[in-house]
A and B are shown apart, each in its own frame.
Chain A
Amino acid sequence: MPRLSYLKALNRALGDELARDPSVVVLGEDIRVAASNLTAGLLKKYGPERIIDTPLAEQGFTNFATGAALAGLRPVIEFQIPSLLFLVFEQIANQAHKFSLMTGGQARVPVTYVVTGSGSRSGWAGQHSDHPYGLLAHVGVKTLVPATPADAYGLLLSAVRDDDPVVLFAPAGALGVRADVDPTELAAVPIGVGTLRRPGDDVTVVAVGHLVHDALAVAEELADQVSVEVFDPRTLYPFDIDGLLASVGRTGRLVVVDDSNRSCGIGAEIIASVVERVALAAPPRRVTRPDGAVLPFAAALDRAVQPGREQLTAAIQLVMKG
C-alpha cells in the first residue's frame, strides 16, 4: 500500500475540494509557492484566481473571507503561525461565528481556517508555538485536530464542505506522520465523531492530535502491566462525548493528554464532561502544558513544558493505583 504523509493528505484534500467545487478558493500568505507545502502544486492546477496570496493583513483578509462566504464562496484560509489566531480572534469568534444566529439564519459562513504546524515546532520559541484550540472550542467554533494522514484528509474535506466556520489544527508534531493508506479508502470523516485507536480494559487515555501517537507508544510500553485504551476525539468541538463515555463506561478510569495550557484547557472540559455523567474508579488525571505556559526557546526547556510520554506514563500509573 502507498505511504501517505499527513501533510500530503491535507494537500490532497484541498486539491480534491478545489477540483470538486468551483466555489472553493484558498487565501493565505506565500501559498502560491506553497511555503508550508499545504498548497503544493495547486497554483499550477487552479491558477492565481483560486490560490490567492494575500498581503500581511490577517484581520482584513479573515473578514474578507467571511464576506466572500456570505456571498456564496467557500474560502479556505491558511495561517502560517498558530498565534495568528489570537490576532484574528475577533474576526473568527465575533464575526464569522456569529452571523448565522445574529441574522436569524439568513446567513452562513462556510470558511475553513487551517493552521499548518500548530504547537511547538522546536526552536521557534514563545510566539510561534501555541496550541489555542481550547479557545476556539470555548467560543463554539468547530475545532478539528486530526492525528493521522487519513483523518487529516477526511476532516479537511468535511471542514470545507461544512456550512459553518471550522478551524483545523495540523499539529507540527503530526505533519511528518506517514501511514499506509489505500487511496481509494480516503473519504470524508464526519465532524464530531471520535475513534478508538487501541482497545483496552483498564484505563481510557484521551489523546489530542500528535499526542495520539505518544499515547499509543506508552500503551505498548505498559502493555504487560496495564491494558490501555486510547481514544482519539479527532474533533474537540463538537466533542464526541458519547463515544468517550462508552469507553470510560468500560474502563472506569480516565487520563487526558493535551498539548495546551492547563487552566481552562480542553482537558478540564473533557474530564468534567465525563465525571458529571459517570462515577470513576479513581480520580481522573490531566497531562498538559503548565498554567499559562509560554514555550521557552532552548530545546530542553521547550520539551520540559510540553506533555510527554514520561508524564503520561506516570499519570496512568497514578490512576491505576487510585
Chain B
Amino acid sequence: MTSTAAGVDAGPLYRTVRLIRRFEERAIDLVRAGEIVGGIHPYLGQEAIAAGVCAALRPDDLITSTHRGHGHVLAKGADPARMLAELCGRATGLNGGRGGSMHAADFSVGIFGANAIVGAAGSILTGAVWAKRRLGGDQVGATFFGDGAVNEGMLLEGFSLAALWSVPVVFVCENNGYATTMPVAQAVAGTITGRAEAFGIPAVVVDGQDPEAVRDATREAVDAARAGGGPRLLECRTYRFDAHHTFEHDVRLDYRDAAEVAQGRSRDPVEIQGARLDPAQRAAIDAEVEAVLAEAVEFALASPTPDPADALAYLYASGLRPRPGSA
C-alpha cells in the first residue's frame, strides 16, 4: 500500500475511534450530571476494536454487542444523536427509550442489539446470520464479547453451532484483562484461542489497540467467512482505560494498581491512529466530531421523555396488551 492510500484510509478509522472516545467522555459527563441514569460501562481504551471490525463489514452485515457496547453501535453506523437520546431515556432514542445503554439496537443498520447477559449474544447472532443466508443473503456477522464471556457455556455452544453449520460469523473477543475485577489468568483455563480451535474454528490474536491491525485481521476473517469458510475468532488484546462501570468512579475497587493502569493507557488507539494522519487532517476531523457530538447532546437533552402511559408498548409484537398491575 502506498503512503497516500494509507493516509486516505487512516482518516475514516481515526474518525470512528475519535467519535467513540469523545462520545464516551460526553456520556460520562451526562452520567455525572444525572442525565444518564444507571450509569454506563465505558468503552474507553477499546475503541480500535469496534472501529476496526466494523470498518471491515458491509452496512448490511450484522453485529451483536455487549454491556460495553456504545463503541460497537456507533462504529456500525447508528446515529450518535439517537444513541445518546437512548442513553438519556428519551422517546427519540434508538429504542424509544426502552433499552438504554445495555440494549441499544438499530436493526436498520444491522445492529441486532447490545445484550446485557454475558455470553448470550454469540448464538443469537449465529442464528441471525444463518437465517439471512437461508433467505438468500450473503451477509456475515460479527459478535463482540469480553474475556469473561469465554467461560459461559452458551457462548461455546454458539461456537459449536457456527462451526457445525459453517455459519459466517466472526467471534470478536475483546480481552481487556478483566471480567469486572476478575483477572483473565484466574478465570480462563486454557486459552481463548484454544476455545475456538477446539471447535475447529481458526483463531488469531490481534493487537486490539491498533485500529488498522484489527481492521486487517477482520477483513481476512470476513473474506474467508463470506466465501464459505465458516466462523473465525479474533482475540483482540486490549485494555480498559476507565472503570468497569461508572459506579466505580464513586466506589474504588482494589484490583489493578496505578502502574498497571498507566502502562495499559500508554497505548492509546486514538493516538496510534491519529499519528497516521497529518495534523491538519486530524484537527479537521476532531472539529467535525465535536460538532456532531455537540448537536447530539443538544438533540438528546431537548428530546421528550416517553409517555408513562405507554410504558409497556411493544411488549408483544402481536399487539397483545398485558393486564395492568392494578384495578
Interface pick from B91-99, B214-222, B280-288: B91-99
A106: B residues at CB distance < 8 A: 95, 105-108
Q: Is the CB–CB distance between B318 and A162 below 8 Å?
A: yes
B73-109 residues with Cβ-Cβ distance < 8 A to A are 93-99, 103, 105-108
Find out whether the CB atom of A67 lies under 8 angstroms from the CB atom of B107: no
Q: B40 an interface residue at 8 Å Cβ cutoff?
A: no
Tell me, yes or no, whether A71 is within 8 Å of chain B by CB.
Answer: yes
Judge if B154 is at the interface, Cβ distance under 8 Å: yes
**B123 / chain A contacts, CB cutoff of 8 Å:** 59-61, 63-64, 67
A55 on the interface (CB 8 Å rule)? yes
Q: Is A90's CB within 8 Å of the partner chain B?
A: yes
B99 to A90, Cβ gap below 8 A?
no
In the complex, chain B residues whose CB is within 8 Å of the CB of A109: 317
Q: Assess whether B124 is in contact with A104, with CB atoms less than 8 Å apart.
A: no
Q: Mark B26-41, 1 if CB is under 8 A from A, else 0.
A: 0000000000000000
Question: Given B126, B130, B313, which contacts A105 in the complex, CB threshold below 8 Å?
Answer: B313
List which B125-164 residues lie within 8 A (CB) of chain A: 125-132, 134-135, 153-154, 156-158, 160-161, 164
Q: Tell whether, in the assembled complex, residue A95 and residue B117 are in contact, meaning their CB atoms are under 8 Å apart.
A: yes
Within 8 A of B (CB), among A272-318: none
B154 touching A59, Cβ below 8 Å:
yes
- B 16-57 binary contact with A (CB < 8 Å = 1; else 0): 000000000000000000000000000000000000000000
Q: Please name all residues of chain A whose beta carbon is closer than 8 Å to the beta carbon of B103 when the two chains form the complex.
A: 102-103
Give Cα A60–Cα B130 distance, bound, in whole angstroms: 14
Q: Which residues of A (1-52) have their CB < 8 Å from a CB of B?
A: 23, 25, 49
B317 touching A108, Cβ below 8 Å: yes
| B314 touching A101, Cβ below 8 Å | yes
Asked if residues B320 and A67 are in contact (CB atoms below 8 Å), the reply is: no
How distant is B121 from chain A, measured CB to nearest CB, in Å?
8
Q: Chain B's nearest CB lies how many Å from the CB of A93?
A: 11
| Any A CB within 8 A of the CB of B239 | no
Asked whether B69 is an interface residue with its Cβ less than 8 Å from the other chain, the reply is no
The reply to whether B130 and A68 form a contact with Cβ atoms under 8 Å apart is: yes
Closest to B103 in A: A102
Write the chain B residue with the least CB distance to A66: B124
Whether A105 pairs with B128 at a CB distance below 8 angstroms is: no
For B131, give its contact among A54, A67, A95 (CB under 8 Å): A67
Chain A residue at minimal CB-CB distance from B137: A71
Across the interface, name the chain B residue whose C-beta is closest to A161.
B318
In the complex, which of the residues B105, B117, B131, B322 contacts A107, with contact meaning CB atoms closer than 8 Å? B105
B11–chain A nearest beta-carbon distance, Å:
31
What string of 1s and 0s marks CB contacts (under 8 Å) between A190-211 and chain B? 0010000000000000000000
Contact call B160/A55, Cβ cutoff below 8 A? yes
Q: Which residue of B lies closest to A73 (CB)?
A: B131
Cβ contact within 8 Å between B317 and A71? no
Q: Verify if A123 is at the interface (C-beta below 8 Å from B).
A: no
Closest to A109 in B: B317
B113–A105 touching, CB < 8 Å:
no
A108 and B99 alpha carbons, distance in the complex (Å): 15
Residue A249, interface by CB 8 Å? no
Known A61-B123, A66-B127, A140-B322: A100·B157 in contact at CB below 8 Å: no
Min CB distance, A300 to chain B, in Å? 38
B158–A103 CB distance below 8 A:
no
State in angstroms the CA–CA spacing of A101 and B160 once bound together.
30
A229 and B268 alpha carbons, distance in the complex (Å): 74
Which residues of B (198-231) have their CB < 8 Å from a CB of A? none
**Quick check: A71 and B318 within 8 Å, CB to CB?**
no
Can you name the residue of chain A whose Cβ is closest to the Cβ of B108?
A: A106
Please state if B320 and A107 are interface contacts (CB–CB under 8 Å). Answer: no
Q: Interface code A107-123, partner B: CB below 8 Å = 1, 0 otherwise? A: 11110000000000000
**Quick one: closest A residue to B327, CB to CB?**
A276
Closest to A56 in B: B157
B127, A67: Cβ atoms closer than 8 Å: yes
Instruction: Chain A residues near B309: list those with CB within 8 A.
Output: none
Cα(A138)–Cα(B99), bound, Å: 22
Q: Which of A69-110 contact B (CB under 8 A)?
A: 69-73, 90-91, 94-95, 99-110
* A104, closest chain B residue (CB): B96
Say yes or no: is A238 at the interface (Cβ < 8 Å to chain B).
yes
Question: In this complex, what residue of A is CB-closest to B139?
Answer: A71
> Given the complex, which residues of A lie within 8 Å of B134, measured CB to CB?
25, 49, 68, 73
B130 touches A64 (CB 8 A): yes
Give chain B nearest CB distance to A142 CB in angstroms.
Answer: 8
Extra inter-chain contacts (14) besides given A70-B128, A101-B313, A108-B317, CB under 8 Å: A60-B160, A63-B123, A63-B127, A66-B127, A67-B129, A71-B132, A72-B135, A91-B154, A95-B117, A101-B312, A103-B95, A104-B97, A106-B108, A163-B317
What are 22 A-B pairs at a CB distance below 8 A? Answer: A60-B123, A60-B154, A61-B123, A63-B158, A67-B131, A68-B127, A68-B131, A68-B134, A70-B107, A70-B127, A90-B117, A90-B120, A90-B154, A95-B115, A95-B124, A100-B316, A101-B315, A103-B107, A103-B113, A104-B98, A105-B317, A106-B105
Q: Which residues of B contact A (CB under 8 A)?
A: 62, 93-99, 103, 105-108, 112-113, 115, 117, 120, 122-132, 134-135, 153-154, 156-158, 160-161, 164, 312-318, 320, 322
Which 8 pairs across A and B sit closest by C-beta, in order of nearness?
Answer: A60-B157, A67-B127, A104-B96, A108-B317, A64-B127, A67-B128, A71-B131, A63-B123
